[in-house]
Copies of this chain bind each other. A is one copy, B any other.
Amino acid sequence: MIEGMRHFLPAPRSVEALPGVFPLTPGFGVAGDLAEPVRRALAALGPVIGDGPVSVRRHGAPESSTLTVRADDIEILAGDAAGAFYAAQTLRQLLPHDAFRAVSPLSAYDVPCVRVADAPALSWRGAHLDVSRHFLPKHDVLRMIDLLAMHKLNRLHLHLADDQGWRVESRAYPRLHEIGSHRAQTITSRKGEPESYDATPHGGFYTLDDLREIAAYARQRAVTVVPEIDVPGHASAILAAYPEFGADPSRRHRVLERWGISPAILAPLPKTIDFLATVFDEVLGALGETPFFHIGGDECVLDAWAASTEITAFQRAQHLATPGDLHAWFLRRLADLLAERGSRAVVWDEAFVSGMLRDDTVVMPWRGTNVARRAIAAGHDVVLTPVFPLYFDYAEAASADEPAALGESITVGDVAAFDVAAERVLGAQFQLWSEYIPDARTLDYKAWPRGCAMAEIAWTGRPAAPDFLGRLEHHLGRLDAAGVNYRPLDGPRPWQRSRPHTPGGLDVAAAMRHLDELTLSADSTRPSM
């Protein structure tokens, strides 16, 4: 009967239909000390000026809200700015799809009367963007923030440094962005094919002012930016700029032009820690309040440490038995540095396996269930990031029509069925590694609608209910209005199809079994996928 009411996404805690409709017209006012986020969320509807008939009052827990649409007025009770912003998103979902355009053509909206009481199950509802392997221009990052906010997702994990590119200005170490930010070409061949490259330079970086802007823009939309400087491995771009911080300072490096794990690794020595502290300070200075800072710790090849007399001597001086212990020590030092600066460290699960983590360090178990369970048991806050079903760079189907991907398949249904075990975890997050995501059009295709399913399970804290698919089908009309190049549920549009290739990349189910076995033992810092 009231069309919009059956189509909230993510599903709110409770929805109670009330009699009547409220006639909302552009120029409507919003009153109250939390009015600003509501005005911002509804800006496309037309000028929002002055006070009332929408009123916003502070009440309840952070991120929670109660939206009451009555025939005479609209009332929002919200725990904080995020809650008010989300209530406005809920209100927008009561309107026609055109409310999701940059300019809505509608001159009046009959909003069905309703009371929606809402709060998220998980406090970390995230998306990871790998802007290292392919750079994503600032305006595309801002647009991704808009799409996250539309789905009540609240963390943007920006993977700023990897072998294939360093993506942020450093005034103290300018060669990082001058040298580390670009590569001469990019591999085009797939595994098993003769190696070929595109002969086209690729690169780009965010200035510190850009980072400040991204963080501020995100904050206005209840999204927290989590920067990642991935160390001590994945260090080719850093070492191309400053080889003196490498395990073997005499070795010259280049920004990697192909995918996969490289042996390039930083030296875990005090001078490297000083260098990173300086760079971290620059990033923190730009971002402003940064509750979480990701330091990576994944996929480290420690051979170069064992081969270095200086590093081995340093390891012994610290009374550390193995290079693995030194890996743990190094990351612990960085986490301590961050704690002094008011940020909690976040690490990939290898760093948890290495040990010595601070109690407050957040663990991202990407290698599946076993390691997640172990990190939770050890008392860590855990953000679930398992390859299956949260690596959205994997293809949605094992089909030659799908664009290039490392492996397959992870479907919308796989995501919707994922049990985040809400009472035990801090949150969950999808990953978009960008080997095969060269631009924003491809990013859209990989992120949505799987991101909608992610929003559903992270907000509700449980696998999606049977009505999810119907709500999602309706919601796709909103994505159309917002201009999102999503993947249709029945497969790619003609121009979203891949160049001809034989599907059969990594089988994600088999890979997860392999990873789960690996992480049963304690000393598995380097899986080979």
Contacts and interface: CB of A to CB of B under 8 A. Distances in A.
Interface in A480-529: 480-481, 483, 485, 493-500
A63 to B, nearest CB: 22
A429 B485 CA distance: 30
The size bracket of the interface on A is: 35 or more
Contact of A204 (B143, B212, B495, B498): B495
A198 B137 contact: no
Contacts of A137: 440-441, 483, 485
A110 interface: no
A121 B216 CA distance: 39
Contacts of A182: 493-495
Interface stretch (A99-107, A317-325, A334-342): A99-107
Contacts of A209: 98, 101, 105, 481
Interface in A367-389: none
A104 to B, nearest CB: 8
B494 A103 contact: no
A500 B185 CA distance: 11
Contacts of A50: 50
Interface in A205-231: 207, 209-210, 212-213, 216-217, 220
A398 to B, nearest CB: 19
Interface centre among A36, A495, A500 (most CB of B within 10 A): A495
A72 interface: no
Interface string A159-192: 0000000000000000000000110010000000
Contacts of A47: 36, 39
Contacts of A494: 182, 201, 203
A289 interface: no
A35 to B, nearest CB: 9
Interface string A301-343: 0000000000000000000000000000000000000000000
A199 interface: yes
Contact of A217 (B102, B210, B220): B102
A185 B498 CA distance: 10
A11 B428 CA distance: 52
A102 B213 contact: yes
A520 B202 CA distance: 45
Contact of A483 (B200, B210, B212, B220): B210
Interface in A109-159: 135, 137-139, 142-143
A439 interface: yes
6 contacts: A39-B47, A139-B483, A202-B495, A207-B480, A209-B481, A210-B483
Top 7 nearest A-B pairs by Cβ distance? Answer: A203-B495, A138-B483, A182-B495, A199-B499, A103-B216, A200-B499, A101-B213
